[in-house]
Amino acid sequence: MQKEIMQSYLPQDAVAEIFDDAAVFEVPSAEIKHVVEELCVRHGAEFKLMTATDERAEHDCFKIWYVFGVPGEHFFLVPFIRLQDTEIFPSIASMVGRAMDDERRIKTFFGLTPLEHPDLRPIILHEHWPEDVFPLRKDCNWKTRPRMESGEYVFQKVEGEGIYEIPVGPIHAGIIEPGHFRFSMAGEHIMLLEPRLGYVHKGSEKLFEVLPLEEKITLAEKISGDSSFGHSLAFCQALESLSDTHPSERALSLRVVYAELERLANHFGDLGAIMMDTGYSFGGAHGARMRERMMQINERLTGSRFLRGVNAVGGVCKDVNDTEVKALLAELQEISEDFSEVIAVTEESVSLLNRLKGAGVISLKIAQQEGLVGVAAKAVGIARDTRLDYPYAAYRDWALADIATETSGDVYARFRVRIKEAHASIRIIQAVLDQLPKGAIHPKNKKVTFKKNALSVSAVEGWRGEIVYVVKTNEKGTISRVVPRDPSCVNWAALKHAGYDNVIPDFPLINKSFNLSYSGNDM
């Protein structure tokens, strides 16, 4: 049935290979623009990501993969093109805004050039990296140190009377991740903001190709530390799909519990941090306190404050016993009341609301153009949530009542979305724990073997937004490419629009209301 629906989305003469919920089909290089347009415009498919693989050893070609999702039908469409004897491919950046940075990544890491791309400056890798060394090509040995180069990065420039620039970072006064921001200012107003990232690039994508399986999962947990569980879940789901492993009902339910616990901890922390940045110390202190409480619950349940080491291929490694279920249910009730009380007080503070409202507005148009995801997208009224659009784990049974959205698109909207999501998370955990299925949580001693020449797409709604993993195996059935996509990669591109025409003292607050991961973007 699903296969037939999938078929209806494909171009007429395309022959698709179907892997679980992903249909992979080849498109001639010259037709890819047309196919992308068909998918986006006619079928309303969502662009997820695009990436490349180096298959010169096996098939004597590079391949460029385009991953689309069809939210209503819960499946993914993956057209790809083959680059034989050429290192140039047609750019789709003019049609799909989100593909802009993905194509720059392909250019930087594979050395394949998107034709007619407006901005071909290297991304992530800085000037000291030689421009002719492409780390994700298979013939680039990850253990070699390339020669040191030098050069100058050219920032975008605003001309005009009284325009001056403020360089901020990469080292900041607070304890946060490194990133450089270049502001072009007219008085106190931001005319242009250009973030420059890449300071925490760790070569994760390359590492995924060489590390043993267990360490790959650990690596996924460290793509962005605050979304450890979301990342390991997305990665494990992709591996399960590739190896035809089906976790038990209990494991699927527990994954929902852990995922929502992670969301709660981070939303509490963010709400506190937003208030702290306005100087409203009451809210800041309580946010930090409630986040810490969640972290301690995480540690009690799994031995890890960040829920690391919990996910494995085929299930989860940490069970929750009946006494713990009772204790957790009681504690969640308490947390829910506590949270409502704190929020009731903060919503009375005129000075706080005045700072939050109207700051850092993103319009619906820009959000759609940049393909915003997660909390930031919900704050402009885009009702997209992977838990509903592409249900995974036990979300198939425990669907959300509705997606928490706001319409104003300012800091306050993002603040409100987090509050609503936190309440919803508590309800979901309670509902799941109430009817936790019995059984094993992990198949013991099962050897994992992967399908050959297969591809799997897995999406998870992390607390920040949609986390996507694309995993590919080669002819021997070993993992040849892993593409993690943290929501930060997408939303960083949209942040500059949120800064425009705000006063610069408000920028830290706007940035905090997105709270994007530098590590998740730089990988």
Partner 1 sequence: MSIALWTIQILLTPLVSPLCVGVIRKLKATWQNRQGASVFQPYRDLWKLMHKDEVMSRDASWIFRVAPVMVFAVTMVVGASIPLFASFLENSLTGDLLMVVYALAIGTFFLALAGMDTGSAFGGFGSSREMTVSALAEGGLIFSLLTVALISGTTNLFTMVNVATIPSGQHVLSALLALCGFVIVLLAETSRFPFDNPATHLELTMIHEAMILEYSGKKLALMEWASANKLFLFMALSVNLFFPIGLAQQATVGAIGLGMIIFLIKVAVFCFVIAFIESSMAKYRFFRLPDLLFIAFILNVVAISLIR
The phi, psi pair for 69, rounded to 5°, reads -120, 145
Residues 414, 427, 319, CA angle at the centre, nearest 5°?
Answer: 110
The distance of Cα 90 from the centroid of its chain, to the nearest Å, equals 25
**CB under 8 A: which stretch of 102-110, 132-140, 416-424, 501-509 binds partner 1?**
501-509
Angle (nearest 5°) at CA 147 between 517 and 137: 65
Closest to partner 1 by CB, 361 vs 482, is 361
Give me the long-range contacts of 83-89 (CB less than 8 A, separation at least 24). 83/29, 83/112, 84/60, 87/62, 87/111, 87/112, 87/113, 88/112, 88/113, 88/114, 88/115, 89/29, 89/32, 89/64, 89/113, 89/114, 89/115
Q: Tell whether residue 485 is a contact of partner 1 (CB under 8 A).
A: no
- CA 6 from chain centre, in angstroms, equals 25
Q: Which two tokens stand for residue 161?
A: 């009377």
Q: What angle do CA 441, 444, 447 make, to 5 degrees?
A: 125
- Using the minimum distance from each CB to partner 1, give the nearer residue, 182 or 308: 182
State the minimum distance, in angstroms, from the CB of residue 349 to partner 1. Answer: 7
Nearer to partner 1 among residue 349 and residue 430 (C-beta): 349
- 3-state SS, one letter per residue, for 436-457: CCCCCCCCCCCCCCCCCCCEEE
| Smallest distance from partner 1 to CB 418, Å | 17
Site string for partner 1, 279-308 (x = CB under 8 A): xxxx-xxx--x-------------------
Within 149-168, the residues that bind partner 1 by CB under 8 A are 164-168
Asked whether position 506 contacts partner 1 by CB under 8 A, the answer is yes
The CA distance from 89 to 102, in Å, is 13
User: Which part of the chain contacts partner 1 (CB under 8 A), choosing from 67-75, 301-309, 344-352, 365-373?
Assistant: 344-352
> Would you count residue 408 as binding partner 1 (CB under 8 A)?
no
Q: Give the C-alpha separation, 315 to 71, whole Å.
A: 25
Rounded CA-CA distance 239/237 in Å is 5
* Residue found under tokens 């009681």: 330
Residue 172 near partner 1 by CB under 8 A: yes
Q: In the complex with partner 1, which residue's Cβ is closer, 133 or 176?
A: 176
- Regarding 505 and contact with partner 1 (CB under 8 A), the answer is yes
Cβ nearer to partner 1, comparing 461 with 506: 506
Residue 207 is a binding residue for partner 1 (CB under 8 A): no
Least Å distance, CB 153 to partner 1, is: 18
Grouping H, G, I as helix, E, B as strand and the rest as coil, residue 19 is: strand
Choice between 440 and 504, CB closer to partner 1:
504
Cβ-based nearer residue to partner 1, 79 or 283: 283
> Closest separation between CB of residue 359 and partner 1, Å?
8
Nearer to partner 1, 349 or 408 (CB): 349
Decide if 51 contacts 106 (C-beta within 8 A).
yes
The residue within the footprint of partner 1, chosen from 21, 46, 226, 277 (CB under 8 A), is 277
Rounded least distance, CB 508 to partner 1, Å: 4
Least Cβ distance, residue 331 to partner 1 (angstroms): 19
Cα 99 versus chain centre, distance? 15
Q: Show the 3-state SS of 278-324.
A: CCCHHHHHHHHHHHHHHHHHHHHHHCCCCCCCCEECCEECCCCCHHH
Size of the site for partner 1 (CB under 8 A): 31
- Of 8, 321, 351, 435, the one binding partner 1 (CB under 8 A) is 351
State in angstroms the smallest separation of the CB of 411 from partner 1.
12
Q: Which two tokens stand for residue 333?
A: 């009730």
d(CA 216, CA 208): 6
CA distance 27 to 14: 7
How near is the Cβ of 503 to partner 1 at its closest, in Å?
6
Q: What is the contact mask toward partner 1 in residues 237 to 276, using x (rule: CB under 8 A)? A: --------------------------------------x-
Contact 216, 183 (CB under 8 A): no
The verdict on 173 binding partner 1 (CB under 8 A) reads yes
Q: State the nearest-atom distance from the C-beta of 281 to partner 1, in Å.
A: 5
β-strand partners of 393: none
Identify the residue among 507, 513, 515, 518 touching partner 1 (CB under 8 A).
507
Residue type, 506: D
Structure-block tokens of residue 437: 């299925």
Query: Looking at 160, 162, 174, 212, which residue binds partner 1 (CB under 8 A)?
Result: 174
Q: Does 355 bind partner 1 (CB under 8 A)?
A: yes
Among residues 501, 472, 523, 488, the alpha carbon closest in space to that of 55 is found at 472
Q: How far apart are CA 64 and CA 51, in angstroms?
A: 6
Nearest approach, Cβ of residue 504 and partner 1 (Å): 5
Task: State the minimum distance, in angstroms, from the CB of residue 278 to partner 1.
Answer: 4
Nearer to partner 1, 419 or 482 (CB): 419
**Distance between CA atoms of 278 and 506, rounded to whole angstroms?**
9
8 A C-beta contact, residue 45 and residue 99: no
Task: Write the DSSP string, 460-482.
Answer: EE-SSSEEEEEEEE-TTSSEEEE
* Nearer CB in complex with partner 1: 277/466: 277
Q: Which one, 69 or 360, has the nearer CB to partner 1? A: 360
**Could you say whether residue 177 binds partner 1 (CB under 8 A)?**
no
Instruction: Give me the residues that bind partner 1 (CB under 8 A), please.
Output: 164-168, 172-174, 188, 275, 277-282, 284-286, 289, 349, 351-352, 354-355, 503-508
